[in-house]
Amino acid sequence: MLDKNVVKSVIDGFHLPDFNKATIREIVTIANKVEALTGEKYVRMEMGVPGFAPDKIGTKAEIEALQAGVASKYPMLDGHPELKKQASRFVKAFIDVDVNPEGCVPVSGSMQGTYASFLVSGQCDKKKDTVLFIDPGFPVQKTQLLVLGLKYESFDMYQYRGKDLIDKLESYLKKGNICNIIYSNPNNPSWFCLTEEELKGIGELATKYDVIVMEDLAYFAMDFRKDLSKPFQAPFQPSVAKYTDNYILLISGSKAFSYAGQRIGVTVISDKIFHRFYQGLADRYTIGEFGVIFVNRILYVLSSGTSHSAQYALSAMFKAACDGEYNFLETVREYGNRAAKMKKIFMDNGFHIVYDKDIDKNIGDGFYFTVGYKDMKGGELMYKLLFYGISAISLDTTGSKQQGLRVCTSFIQDNQYDVLQTRLAEFAKEN
């Protein structure tokens, strides 16, 4: 087991005023340092990094593009035409929504997509200067707003499901200051999934109060309780895009396609929003069309486009998935198998699942899940588990009001389940 004096000295060296608010990167660095000093490996659960190799369809297409010389050429700001075409097909094939290829804009990962979307939508109407988060969520998105100087409000969805969720949302939208609603589905960190009824309600409110819904689909179709892998046939990935024209979808290459290192994704802007004129944009840029500003002003100054060769990779994977030649969920389904095993080990040792229900159904098994221990605060639990060679992050950093930890399944190896059992058993015995 780990030398607890070493663990304490490393943690103390960070001089964190509130350990409950320790960031993902801080926990990563602490675990790395302890591993280097002790030679003992942590059971790593803190970082949402893909755990599988990318499919050869993507890497082959990118290699061929590089060999053809695309690295010497600037990409078009609005993206490689074939990727835009295949992204539009992909949305139709797996969400059953029609969107013009024009509005499918490659970005340097969904991180850039959310940043650019926040920036533009926050400038559309001077009265609407606040983003509304349906939490828990991805902590860095709030950091993006801090950088941008935009305001935000948030609430924990834990006790608001079904009609209660819609009523809670409307209580914020009535104020008239909300420009965006943002959530992830499946959710990071809880893995809850919004129902069709909830999405319908969100869409209707977005239309009624004229706000843009940003739907973060980083874990696209990874609700493994149903098979969402068949192109152009139900069931489809649930989406608010079925219920409003006021949407932006953020589709990432990182998780479902295990292509995180190339920083590639697509921001899908509805036809209505892409071509809509906003006076706030016109006052600032002289041009008022959302899509033009998003591409020719914001992406231009941020990065002058997206990695040229990576666009060929994602295009090839989208095409193969739409053609039924590539089941992009086949490999990542293993995350669900891992979650089931890990949940059992945690619960056998006195832990409980914090976000455990999708209204009346058990939460699915996937990339993340949440755990709590007795009445222990999240920060305290995160701190103590580090001494037992287990690293995870507190739910506090995700906007959750619940006490516990986010557990990521991506790094667990087959030979670590017994290690996890041993370490959690020792923790339970001493706590």
The answer to whether position 328 is within a domain reads no
Under 8 Å CB-to-CB from 28, ≥6 apart: which residues? 46, 47, 391
> Does 121 share its domain with 265?
yes
Q: What are phi and psi of 395, to 5 degrees?
A: -65, -20
Contact 274, 132 (CB under 8 A): no
> Does 134 share its domain with 23?
no
Residue 172 confidence (pLDDT): 98
308-322 helix and 56-67 helix, angle to the nearest 10 degrees: 140
Instruction: Look at the block and give the residue holding tokens 């992406």.
Output: 299
> Does 318 share its domain with 337?
no
pLDDT at 401 over 80: yes
DSSP structural state of residue 215: E
Q: How confident is the model at residue 15 (pLDDT cuts 50, 70, 90)?
A: confident
Residue 3 confidence (pLDDT): 87
Output the six-digit token pair for 385. Answer: 């588990």
Q: How many domains does the chain have?
A: 2
24-38 helix and 378-386 helix, angle to the nearest 10 degrees: 20
The answer to whether position 255 is within a domain reads yes
> Does 31 share its domain with 148?
no
Instruction: Look at the block and give the residue holding tokens 């920036």.
Output: 119
pLDDT average, residue stretch 364-382: 95
Output the six-digit token pair for 410. Answer: 């991506």
CATH number of the domain that residue 36 is part of: 3.90.1150.100
> Does 240 share its domain with 282?
yes
Q: How confident is the model at residue 24 (pLDDT cuts 50, 70, 90)?
A: confident
pLDDT at 1 over 80: no
pLDDT average, residue stretch 60-85: 97
> Does 384 share its domain with 267?
no
> Does 33 share its domain with 87?
no
pLDDT tens by residue, 197-207: 999 999 999 99
DSSP H helix total and E strand total for the chain: 17, 15
The answer to whether position 50 is within a domain reads no
Which residues does residue 217 pair with via DSSP β-bridges, in sequence order? Answer: 251
- Helix (H, G, I), strand (E, B), or coil: what is residue 316? helix
Residue 277 confidence (pLDDT): 98
Residue after which a domain boundary falls, among 322, 352, 387: 322
> Is the peptide bond preceding residue 106 cis, with omega within 30 degrees of 0?
no
pLDDT tens by residue, 375-393: 999 999 999 999 999 999 9
Residue after which a domain boundary falls, among 322, 342, 375: 322
- Determine which helix (DSSP H) or strand (DSSP E) holds 271, and give its type and residue range: helix 271-275
Contact 264, 253 (CB under 8 A): yes
Buried b (16+ CB within 10 A) or exposed e, 212-242: bbbbbbbbbbbbbeeebbebeeeebbbbbbe
Q: How confident is the model at residue 41 (pLDDT cuts 50, 70, 90)?
A: very high
Residue 212 confidence (pLDDT): 98
Residue after which a domain boundary falls, among 322, 344, 375: 322
> Does 285 share its domain with 347?
no
Residue 179 confidence (pLDDT): 97
pLDDT tens by residue, 153-188: 999 999 999 999 999 999 999 999 999 999 999 999
- Helix (H, G, I), strand (E, B), or coil: what is residue 143? helix
pLDDT tens by residue, 80-138: 999 999 999 999 999 999 999 999 999 999 999 999 999 999 999 999 999 999 999 99
Which of 42-51, 171-180, 362-371 has the least mean pLDDT?
A: 42-51
Residue 183 confidence (pLDDT): 98
Other CB atoms within a 10 A radius of the CB of residue 26 amount to 16
What separation in angstroms does the CA of 302 have from each of 37, 141, 252? 39, 17, 18
Under 8 Å CB-to-CB from 418, ≥6 apart: which residues? none
**Residue ranges making up the domain that contains 374:** 4-41+333-430
> Does 97 share its domain with 37?
no
> Does 142 share its domain with 179?
yes
The answer to whether position 51 is within a domain reads no
DSSP string, 1-53: ---HHHHHHHHHTT--S-GGG--HHHHHHHHHHHHHHH-PPPEE-S-----SP
Mean model confidence pLDDT for the chain: 95
Question: Which residue, 181, 324, 315, is CA-closest to 247?
Answer: 181
Strand order in the sheet with 151-156: 104-107, 265-269, 247-252, 212-217, 178-184, 130-135, 151-156
Query: What whole-number percentage of the chain has pLDDT above 70?
Result: 100
pLDDT average, residue stretch 388-403: 93
CA distance 334 to 337: 5
pLDDT tens by residue, 250-282: 999 999 999 999 999 999 999 999 999 999 999
pLDDT tens by residue, 301-358: 999 999 999 999 999 999 999 999 999 999 999 999 999 999 999 999 999 999 999 9
